[in-house]
Structure 1
Amino acid sequence: MASIMTNAAALTALQSLNATNKSLEETQGRISTGYRVAQASDNAAYWSIATTMRSDNKANSVVQDALGLGAGKVDTAYTAMNGAIDAVEKIKDKVLLAKTSSPEDRAKIQSEIATYQAQLVDSVSGSSYAGANLLQTDSAATVTKLTVISSYNRDSTGKVTTGSIDIAYANIRLIDTNATPTGVLDKNGTASTKSILNIDVTNLTGVTGTSESQQFDNLLTDVEKALGLMADAAAELGAAKSRIDTQKSFLSNLSDAIDKGVGQLVDADMNKESTRLQALQVQQQLGIQALSIANSNSQSILSLFKNG
């Protein structure tokens, strides 16, 4: 039926063109943003999951930064600790050498020992990173350990917990800034009553009635004890360093896995969208042409009257 009131063909062509334009707009949006789910209206479930996963990944990024800062502190302390152990071993060798040396030679040996003692103080005092010195701390301070955040965990109920790597200052303290020092290097020995930093082979003092030979043995006993404590401290720092490095690597891999997971949910397939764009552009052109043809049908009704 030919009607001048209702052009059914034009209406159908217009609806088809509108649908094509809507799909074209959607595809162009995906290509321009790179997302097939850019907002909640695109797919509420996927958008919600992706938003939560992105939030967790941001938290993991903060943890990685904290681990990086902690790694710097621990690496610095570990390097300084190993240097301190070398210096104390040299002091031990000089004390042993002084035991059977003449007074004149002991003065020369003491000069070398003093150099190593100064080296110890300088290396420990200079082992700071970001304002923190793990080897030189105050035994009376309220903060008793280094805490490095190592993980961020959120369960299905939304409850958050964090993991940490802790190093007790008391286990690695070489020099104590407290008035009554308890550091490995500055506290008095149990055998010789001398600390590593005040050993003097030219002026031995010890328990009354103790022979000179025994006093040297007492010095060596305390040096060996200090070396043992320093070895334990180096082992603790080394273990913490290994844990931090392992956790940093794990978080890096986890972050990549989360990014991939989010991408699978919300990223647009650019090959697919590009092909779809070209098809829709052709459909749009055909739709415009179809609408033009449908509109021209109304003009053909006039010809009926002209012919009459």
Structure 2
Amino acid sequence: MSSGISLTSSTRSSLLSLQSAASAQGTISERLSTGKKVNSAIDNAVSFFTASSLSGRATTLSDLLDNMSNGVQTIQAASKGLDGMKKLVEQMQATVKQARQDTTYDSTDATTIAATKKVRDNLKTQFLDLAKQMDNLSKDSGYNGVNLLNADELQITFNERTGTAKNDMKVALYAADGTTKEAVNATKLGIVASATGGTYTAVTGSGDDFTDNAGLDKLSDLLTTALTSIQTKASSLGSNLTVVQTRQDFTKQLINVLKTGSDNLVNADMNEEAANFTALQTRQSIAQQTLSLANQQQQGILQLLR
């Protein structure tokens, strides 16, 4: 036959206080070690899953931010290429102007005409070399496998959604129709007639031999048009770059908002938790003293019975 052990009210109260303090101390220790007041759904299901959702979106947007960064660099690479091509066209204009200023072709002297033709032939060679450099520069203006000056298209995604809610942007350089993607080079700009096999031919009837003054005048006009086209394309890229950089800055700020919101839901106040930990230690010490006093009372009764 077994008999139950009965504890006094003060002893039981002290034991419960110690157990409660030990449990609370374990919880606070976990918070101090992890820095979070919500470590699992058991702690607070609503806060835990809401914070997880916010953190997940922040992570996804961080990945998209990398794509935006690559997009910015791709546009800037193309923009730098257009800047270089603009300078080359300006040099070509100077070459044509230099050839046109030589009026010795009006002479009837065969020797003078021959000398002038030699000078213009050299200028023509310089002109076509500059056209070749324009094409080389265009081919080298890519970034990470995408070259907008080579009729490539760049797609940049701004949000994590799909379907009609997806927000993205396509960047490309188009022909005059506004829909056909077009490369930017000497041929497309109308500066040379062709560039087959690395051999460049000037526009037929527009200074093909650089001895035709009327042809040089027409070529000068074509260079002016080409320069305007380059500036228009550069302006278009600049506008696209502004949009991407604006979305890039917005995404960075949004990621910060999402992370802050997530932290507010689950992060612990370390100062408060440290103060609670100290208070629990004091409470635990008092409970131990109380339990010791309660046991001393019972031991006193035992001494009387002896």
Shorter-chain TM band:
0.7 to 0.9
Alignment match, 1:243: 243
Alignment match, 1:134: 148
Instruction: Check if 1:47 corresponds to 2:55.
Output: no
Inter-partner Cα distance in structure 1 for 2:274 and 2:164: 42
Gaps of 5+ in 1: 138-143, 173-177
- Counterpart amino acid of 1:152? E
Alignment match, 1:233: 233
Residues 94 and 109 in structure 1, CA contact (< 8 A), matched pair in contact too: yes
Alignment match, 2:58: 57
Shift of 1:90: 1.4
- Counterpart amino acid of 2:297? N
Alignment match, 1:125: 139
**Which range moves more in the overlay, 83-92 or 287-296?**
287-296
Alignment match, 2:27: 26
Residues 74 and 146 in structure 2, CA contact (< 8 A), matched pair in contact too: yes
Instruction: Check if 1:151 corresponds to 2:159.
Output: yes
Q: Secondary structure at the match of 2:166?
A: strand
Alignment match, 2:89: 88
**Which range moves more in the overlay, 30-39 or 280-289?**
280-289
Which whole-Å deviations, capped at 9, do the CAs of 1:8-57 have from their partners, x for residues lacking one?
22211111111111111111111100011121111111112111100110
Alignment match, 1:161: 165
Inter-partner Cα distance in structure 1 for 2:79 and 2:301: 95
**Which range moves more in the overlay, 77-86 or 241-250?**
241-250
Inter-partner Cα distance in structure 2 for 1:85 and 1:20: 77
Residues 85 and 137 in structure 2, CA contact (< 8 A), matched pair in contact too: yes
Alignment match, 2:278: 278
- Counterpart amino acid of 2:226? A
Inter-partner Cα distance in structure 1 for 2:167 and 2:231: 27
Inter-partner Cα distance in structure 2 for 1:20 and 1:160: 55
Shift of 1:278: 0.8
Inter-partner Cα distance in structure 2 for 1:182 and 1:282: 77
Gaps of 5+ in 2: 103-115
Residues 151 and 164 in structure 1, CA contact (< 8 A), matched pair in contact too: yes
Shift of 1:126: 1.4
Which whole-Å deviations, capped at 9, do the CAs of 1:149-183 have from their partners, x for residues lacking one?
123359xxxx88332222124359xxxxx9xx975
Change (3 A) 1:123 1:206: closer
Aligned length: 281
Inter-partner Cα distance in structure 1 for 2:160 and 2:200: 46
Inter-partner Cα distance in structure 2 for 1:107 and 1:151: 57
Q: Which runs of 4+ in 1 moved over 6 A?
A: none
TM-score for the superposition, normalised by structure 2: 0.81
